A and B are shown apart, each in its own frame.
Chain A
């Protein structure tokens, strides 16, 4: 199938507009400094982010990690400032995620569960804090790699190669004409792929309409549960927790309390970032039922949990196990 090229259209008029303006200013300030490849890296990422938000596209994604592969169908529609997205599992239990602007609904047919949550995006491209963009170039080498065909489209690969072993390598393949990411890969220190998302087929500029994003049912059937996560941005707060021994390049992005389903009491949440990835630190009161602790992994996401007096610390992020573990063990009260 030949792809029709569409140019990234109107700006998405959603709540992150203010953030976009802030970021635009921040980036403009940065461009005054002649950091040539930082500009390049930021441009590629910004183009990818814009394309993901503003284009209409539909395709099949293969998500691979450690010898497993799962396929899903993705539809994305941008219309008059509104954004719609639908992700459907093609194998395994029947599950679907439907997003309209900032609201996300996950339909788990196997557990008969609908989960509704706000998807407020903070700290994402293009709205990075200026210091994050600086660390991005300090701790990663950005370079363009090969051109390749992905899902039948011409793409340009570009790489963020970590300068130390505390972070993963990232390789992205962007559609040459729109900048949309068609493949993304996380690489460990040995250059092995830890996780990969890739479109196996895609139509950019497909004819879509809102009807395609209707939920599978108008009202959930009586035997289904609905879990609704409280909305609203989390106000930044001083939680009294800190990470003494942060790996180089990581700095705190935000800190505050969250109410989470299944947790009694509020959970402290701190986010650290090196400009390309984030690591979350959660501190909760020790749960009533004993929890297994230690390392876990979910594709490119590494997790480490440990008890700390009457608390349970859980750290997770798209970073190697050692990084996540180091952060977990250096969480302490201020």
Chain B
């Protein structure tokens, strides 16, 4: 603690380096030091690390006499999960007024959600997520126009709070709008 190591996902150098296999081994046994759990979980993005997670589990299953194969499952499931709105469960800790306000805003702005879903679709975006959004767009009673990503990015050059928030305004463009798809 008090040590300034960057998280396992932060070095790039041609690919992410994830957590060490020893830590994956400990994590799956529930024996990883509590202070490391969050970082290791967050760092388990690297393809090699996820493969290790799976491999170690398959070893255990095999030893217990139940080696089932689910070829291609994870790839297909990843697409389905990506299309799901992120779930947020209220925490057992006290709900702050701010969180309550956000929840109220969500209810009141329910129509905007549909609109938002509709507006971020580009006609030929290839991902399953975009397809799900397109489907929502068709169902939406009021189809709202898509927001041009170019406009958003150009606008941000002139937004006074961009300097305070650094690259964070890019989150809007990067998270939501689909970029131009290949022709």
Contact = CB atoms under 8 A, between A and B. Distances in A.
B171 A70 contact: yes
- The listed residue with most A CB atoms (<10 A of its CB), out of B1, B12, B101, is B12
B180 A193 contact: no
Nearest to B150: A260
Interface stretch (A31-39, A238-246, A269-277, A325-333): A269-277
B161 A97 contact: no
Contacts, number: 280
- The listed residue with most A CB atoms (<10 A of its CB), out of B10, B82, B154, B175, is B175
A167 interface: no
Interface string A183-219: 0110010111110110001010111100111111110
Nearest to B124: A111
B164 A66 contact: no
A318 B161 contact: yes
B154 A280 contact: yes
A296 interface: yes
Given A111-B182, A211-B11, A295-B144, A273 B160 contact: yes
A31 B96 CA distance: 38
Contacts of A172: 164
Contacts of B112: 66, 297
B13 interface: yes
Contacts of A45: 164
A276 B177 contact: no
Interface in A62-99: 63-64, 66-70, 72-76, 85-93, 95-97, 99
Contacts of B113: 66-68
A128 B98 CA distance: 30
A120 B143 CA distance: 34
B116 A123 contact: no
Given A73-B9, A214-B13, A278 B171 contact: no
A121 B115 CA distance: 30
A121 B163 contact: yes
B105 interface: yes
A104 B180 CA distance: 17
A258 B166 CA distance: 23
- The listed residue with most A CB atoms (<10 A of its CB), out of B142, B152, B153, is B153
Interface string B129-155: 100000000000011111110111111
Nearest to A4: B4
A299 B98 CA distance: 16
Chain B interface SS verdict (over half): loop
A215 B15 CA distance: 9
A101 interface: no
A286 B76 CA distance: 41
Interface of A: 1-2, 4, 45, 48-49, 52-53, 58, 60-61, 63-64, 66-70, 72-76, 85-93, 95-97, 99, 104, 106, 108, 110-113, 115, 117, 119-126, 128, 132, 170, 172, 181, 184-185, 188, 190-194, 196-197, 201, 203, 205-208, 211-218, 225, 227, 253-254, 258, 260-263, 269, 271, 273, 275-278, 280, 282, 291-299, 301, 303, 305, 314, 316-318
Interface of B: 1-2, 4-7, 9-15, 38, 42, 45, 82, 85-86, 88, 98, 101-106, 108-109, 112-113, 115-116, 119-120, 125-127, 129, 142-148, 150-155, 157-168, 170-182
Q: Top 7 A-B pairs ranked by shortest CB distance? A: A67-B106, A124-B163, A192-B105, A292-B145, A280-B155, A271-B158, A49-B163
